[in-house]
Structure 1
Amino acid sequence: MDRIRIVGGQKLNGTIPISGAKNATLPLMIASLLTEDRLVLENVPRLADVIQLQRILGNHGVDVMIAGKRAGDEPNIGRTIELSAKHIVDTTAPYELVSTMRASFWVIAPLVARMGEAKVSMPGGCTIGTRPVDLLIMALEKLGAQIEIEGGYVIARAKNGLRGGDINFPKVTVGGTHTALMAAVLAKGTTVIENAAREPEITDVADCLTKMGAKITGAGTSRIVVEGVAGLNGARHSVLPDRIETGTYAMAVAMTGGDVLLQHARPELLQAALDVIAQAGATVTPTNEGIRISRNGSGLKPVDVATAPFPGFPTDLQAQLMALMTRAEGTSHITETIFENRFMHVQELARLGAQIQLNGDTATIEGVKRLKGAPVMATDLRASVSLVIAALAAEGETTVNRVYHLDRGFERLEQKLAACGAMIERISG
């Protein structure tokens, strides 16, 4: 099993190209099930989760073609993939495919919308809490789907098609909003989604669906209105840049010092996180090419942060911020309001010398003058990269084990960091 070896103490200087957003790519790929025509997606990141979703979609009969290498191609430019769901041959998504990735459960919406039926295994993915699918099921029921749960599978039926309805989510849910959107675009009549997630990835998917012929207004706000259409056509769409990758590398630069251009990054996608990074002592400068992050020899300042749905501070950057705060000059507090079991990185950061106390959903971090390298283990996708950030500033050598978590969400991480001066390498086997 691969692991990553890091020798800390190097400042980061140079350019890091930001990849297409994983959290937009996956629902965009799933949206291909809504049409017989080809959907072409550009700027698709090279990630393990993308490969797994290709397998899942292939099981339903989707043909996936990845554009081959061309003269002048650069590895830091995302791939182009073409998806064709002309013939859906199977409306069942089996446990062995769905259990490894939570987002794959979302296939239930386009399958029942287009085919009138779907049988999808309960999802898997990162072990960061229960993350139930009850709100996704509720959304489908509001649109007329009949739901049964049997043997670990959710079975949805709408023999006469879905119909528009009012969906009012009791709490903000990205998965529920994606599901409601994809189900509503082919439903008969008007659907109103209240308390919808406002994340940029929701807007990106809505933009793509609109190119495919859907009638959607209000994406990016808490109230989305969808006028159902009889069918969707194909389209070409470029995936927006990954705000979580942007924030992760911004915190790595803040941690180590140096000066790095995060190429293609868009500040409006993560302004709350950039504000916190600036508060911690880094200089954040939007440019025509992306975002520059720099920090000279000045120390890091402590911050107090609570995670929140967009436009608040993202839960997917909580672990990275905690790593950064281990070296702050003072006491920081981070409150996790989204997932109830997302502090598993704390004990691994402690192996590097971090001083962190947990009290319910709040972590108190006492900054230390130095971290020391040690063997650590990745526990989930975002926690794993927090260990990398800490290791970049730790004295001596750190080995991060179980890096398959990293490969799910970060494209070419060690190459991007090494190009900016980090002493980092992947060790296979």
Structure 2
Amino acid sequence: MDSIAIVGGARLYGDIPVSGAKNSAIKLMAAAILTDQPLTLTNMPRLADTRFLGQLLRAFGIRVDELGADTTVLHAAELTSTFAPYDLVRQMRASFNVLGPLLARTGEARVSLPGGCTIGARPVDLHLKALQALGAEITLEEGYVHAVAPHGLKGTRIDFPFVSVGATEHALLAAVLADGVTVLRRAACEPEIGDLALCLNAMGARIEGIGTNTLTITGVRALSGTQWSVIPDRIEMGSYAVAAAMAGGEVRLTRSRPELIAALTDRMVAAGVEVSPTSDGVVVRRDPLVRLRAVDVTTEVYPGFATDLQAQFMALMTLAEGESVVHETIFENRFMHAPELARLGAEISVHGGEAQVRGVERLVGAPVMATDLRASMSLIIAGLAAEGETIVSRVYHLDRGFEHLEAKLAACGAQVRRIRGEADEH
């Protein structure tokens, strides 16, 4: 397995272009199942997760062509299979969302359950209940979901008991071809859901209420192809913003939208970081000789503070003056980065869904192990400011969500390099 080595202490100066959002791209790829015409996606990130989903879509008979640096054309002229095996679904949890569009287009699908997750159970029962409400008959057989809609999917009202991004996206992907009107209440409002809905509308869907917690979908008989540019990745943008603040210096994040990370930058400004919007992004500045101030954060659904930026912000707070409290309300078991940050000298106490971070004067490089995607980035961020060398192992997590990470940081002056290891299966 590869590792990444960082020699801390370098200030960052320069531009970092933000890639397309992984969490939007993989759902847009799934939308290609819904039409027999080509769907062209631009600003596509080239990541392990998009490659995994591409493999799965090819197994259905879908043509997936990567053109140039950031364009992907998907053409599901004919679906030759509606079976998603465990060996493919297990590689990426979000691939389970092919179930709804397969069911909507063909009336039947058999998809593996996605399995466990290191940051909490994240069950798919809301997904299945939404599909059942739309008229699907569902049985669970030996770890697989077998869904049929012998009379087609029918519009209905779905009241989610709590906000679920995945279930909202899944219901949306199924309902666009259902007969009649579907209303999704307590729907998630994440920008990636809006990106998916707008793309579906460009394909001929009729979705209203985009950006609100109530979505109304009037089903159509068929969708057409279109060309769509993937929204900028707010988690990548936020991660590099925190990295710039941690290392000090001045970094301009381009091809991005600062309003997508307002909850993060508000807390960064409170901590003493200068954040200024530009015509195509944001500039992050910090004088490393002036110590950060400790501030508290609580993760919330969008537009609140993103759980996917919690680990990165915790790394920033390890060097702040005073004590900060991080409340995690979205996922259980999402403080697995805390003991690894402690190996660098951080002082963090975890009690259930709360972590107390007592700022220290300095961090010192050490070997650390990544436990998940966002935790991986938190360790990279900490390594940028730690004295000496930090080596982060198991970085296949990073490759799932960050495109050209070493190159982007190195272009701004970071001393970072990849150490190639033996090939792994992740």
Instruction: State whether TM-score is above 0.5.
Output: yes
- From 317, 325, 332, the equivalent of 2:317 is 325
Shift of 1:335: 0.5
- From 102, 113, 123, the equivalent of 1:111 is 102
Which residue of structure 2 lines up, in the alignment, with residue 280 of structure 1? Answer: 271
Asked whether 1:386 is paired with 2:388, we answer no
Shift of 1:177: 0.5
Which residue of structure 2 lines up, in the alignment, with residue 22 of structure 1? Answer: 22
In the alignment, is the contact (CA less than 8 A) between 2:311 and 2:378 conserved in 1? yes
In the alignment, is the contact (CA less than 8 A) between 2:343 and 2:366 conserved in 1? yes
- From 243, 262, 265, the equivalent of 2:256 is 265
Query: 1:275-323, CA deviations, whole angstroms, 9 ceiling, x for partnerless residues?
Result: 1111111111001021000011321111111100000000000000010
CA RMSD between the two structures:
0.8
In the alignment, is the contact (CA less than 8 A) between 1:148 and 1:154 conserved in 2? yes
Question: Amino acid of the residue matched to residue 317 of structure 1?
Answer: L
Which residue of structure 2 lines up, in the alignment, with residue 72 of structure 1? Answer: none
In the alignment, is the contact (CA less than 8 A) between 1:126 and 1:381 conserved in 2? no
Question: Amino acid of the residue matched to residue 35 of structure 1?
Answer: T
- Supply the distance in 1 between the matched residues of 2:338 and 2:80 (Cα, whole angstroms): 45
Asked whether 1:46 is paired with 2:37, we answer no
Which segment drifts farther, 273-282 or 232-241? 273-282
Question: Amino acid of the residue matched to residue 383 of structure 1?
Answer: A
- Supply the distance in 1 between the matched residues of 2:267 and 2:161 (Cα, whole angstroms): 29
Which residue of structure 1 lines up, in the alignment, with residue 406 of structure 2? Answer: 414
In the alignment, is the contact (CA less than 8 A) between 2:257 and 2:280 conserved in 1? no
Counting only pairs closer than 5 Å after superposition, residues 184-333 of structure 1 correspond to structure 2 as: 184-296=175-287, 297-333=289-325
Q: Partner of 1:183: helix, strand, or coil?
A: helix
Shift of 1:403: 0.5
- Supply the distance in 2 between the matched residues of 1:250 and 1:279 (Cα, whole angstroms): 14
Question: Amino acid of the residue matched to residue 79 of structure 2?
Answer: I
- Supply the distance in 1 between the matched residues of 2:171 and 2:261 (Cα, whole angstroms): 24
Q: Partner of 1:147: helix, strand, or coil?
A: strand
Which residue of structure 2 lines up, in the alignment, with residue 175 of structure 1? Answer: 166
Structure 1: gaps spanning 5 or more residues: 69-77
Asked whether 1:161 is paired with 2:152, we answer yes
Q: Partner of 1:415: helix, strand, or coil?
A: helix
Q: Partner of 1:191: helix, strand, or coil?
A: strand
Question: Amino acid of the residue matched to residue 348 of structure 2?
Answer: I
- Supply the distance in 2 between the matched residues of 1:133 and 1:409 (Cα, whole angstroms): 22
Which residue of structure 1 lines up, in the alignment, with residue 369 of structure 2? Answer: 377
Q: Partner of 1:44: helix, strand, or coil?
A: coil
Query: 1:140-163, CA deviations, whole angstroms, 9 ceiling, x for partnerless residues?
Result: 011011111110111111012100
- From 135, 142, 145, the equivalent of 2:126 is 135
Q: Partner of 2:284: helix, strand, or coil?
A: strand
Cα distance, 1:333–1:406 mapped onto 2, change above 3 Å: same
- Supply the distance in 2 between the matched residues of 1:277 and 1:120 (Cα, whole angstroms): 42
Question: Amino acid of the residue matched to residue 209 of structure 1?
Answer: L
- Supply the distance in 2 between the matched residues of 1:324 and 1:61 (Cα, whole angstroms): 46
Which segment drifts farther, 11-20 or 289-298? 289-298
Query: 1:34-83, CA deviations, whole angstroms, 9 ceiling, x for partnerless residues?
Result: 00000000000110101111001111111001114xxxxxxxxx510100
Question: Amino acid of the residue matched to residue 163 of structure 2?
Answer: V
- Supply the distance in 1 between the matched residues of 2:149 and 2:18 (Cα, whole angstroms): 41
Percent identity, aligned pairs only, is 59
Which residue of structure 2 lines up, in the alignment, with residue 353 of structure 1? Answer: 345
Question: Amino acid of the residue matched to residue 28 of structure 1?
Answer: L
- Supply the distance in 1 between the matched residues of 2:331 and 2:146 (Cα, whole angstroms): 26
Asked whether 1:400 is paired with 2:400, we answer no
Q: Partner of 2:400: helix, strand, or coil?
A: helix
Question: Amino acid of the residue matched to residue 187 of structure 1?
Answer: A
- From 135, 140, 152, the equivalent of 1:144 is 135
Asked whether 1:12 is paired with 2:12, we answer yes
Question: Amino acid of the residue matched to residue 194 of structure 1?
Answer: R
Structure 2: gaps spanning 5 or more residues: 422-426
Question: Amino acid of the residue matched to residue 271 of structure 2?
Answer: A
Question: Amino acid of the residue matched to residue 186 of structure 1?
Answer: L
In the alignment, is the contact (CA less than 8 A) between 2:11 and 2:247 conserved in 1? yes
Shift of 1:124: 4.2
Cα distance, 1:405–1:124 mapped onto 2, change above 3 Å: farther
- Supply the distance in 1 between the matched residues of 2:316 and 2:210 (Cα, whole angstroms): 33
Which residue of structure 1 lines up, in the alignment, with residue 419 of structure 2? Answer: 427
Number of residues of Structure 1 aligned to a counterpart in Structure 2 = 420
TM-score (norm 2): 0.98
TM-score (norm 1): 0.97
Cα distance, 1:15–1:126 mapped onto 2, change above 3 Å: farther
